[in-house]
Amino acid sequence: MSPDVRVRHGRRLALLSGAPQSTLNNEEMVQFAIENCKRVRNIDSVDKQMLVRVLAIEDSYNPPKELRGMTLAAACLESGFNPLAKGDRKFSKKRKPKAIGMFQMWKWWEKFYGIKRTDPEQAADAWMRHIVRQIPKVKKKCRYKKDKSVWVAAWVTAIRAPKKEGRCREKPLHLRLLMKWHKKLKKQNDARRQN
């Protein structure tokens, strides 16, 4: 077995290499995300078990370890983890919300992926499928070698409008929050190890 093979231990995701990483299980990762999401108005109103299932869906697509929690970061910024959130009224003449659900998906998501936008698990699965669908195009257009770079380019390509020249040099806004979370987690883990 190669030293960089992902192994699942129950709900823990560990990387068998010497690099420091977060070994938080899904429940701990969800709790951390809820506590560190500024858009959550009432922590007690967030359905933690639903977010654990959303994170498990993300894990099933095997994103790079550096991007673990990407669904949580997106859901935090888009809706504050509210599966009934409504937004993007500015694009409607009648001020009717165009984006609905935890990931603020437009109507075409329901038609294309056959989902209900207000169902967080269906929405998370469709969101991850859409990102994974972009990977072959991104590999061809951007010619990245690193897995993380390919996934970031696929992520931004998936969530933004198509662009003729592609979105190779762009990053999603959600990534900034995710990197802050990872940095904070690393500090916490380092402090825990020193004690």
Residue 185, in any domain of the structure: no
Interval 41-75: pLDDT, tens: 899 999 999 999 999 999 999 999 999 999 999 99
Residue 187, in any domain of the structure: no
| 39: nearest Cα among 88, 76, 86 | 76
H or E segment and range at residue 7: strand 6-9
Section 126-146 average pLDDT: 94
Residue 82, in any domain of the structure: yes
Interval 78-130: pLDDT, tens: 999 999 999 866 665 666 888 899 999 999 999 999 999 999 999 999 999 99
H or E segment and range at residue 25: none
Range of the domain at 42: 6-16+23-178
Residue 190, in any domain of the structure: no
In order, the DSSP letters of 55-116 are HHHHHHT---GGGTTHHHHHHHHHHTT-TT-EE-GGG-TT----EETTTTB-HHHHHHH---
Top mean pLDDT of 5-9, 95-99, 117-121, 161-165 is at: 117-121
Residue 184, in any domain of the structure: no
Residue 104, in any domain of the structure: yes
Number of folded domains that form the chain: 1
Separation of alpha carbons 102 and 42, rounded Å: 16
- The answer to whether the predicted template modeling score (pTM) of the entire model surpasses 0.85 is no
Residue 66, in any domain of the structure: yes
Residue 193, in any domain of the structure: no
Domain harbouring 86, CATH code: 1.10.530
- Give me the amino acid identity at 149: S
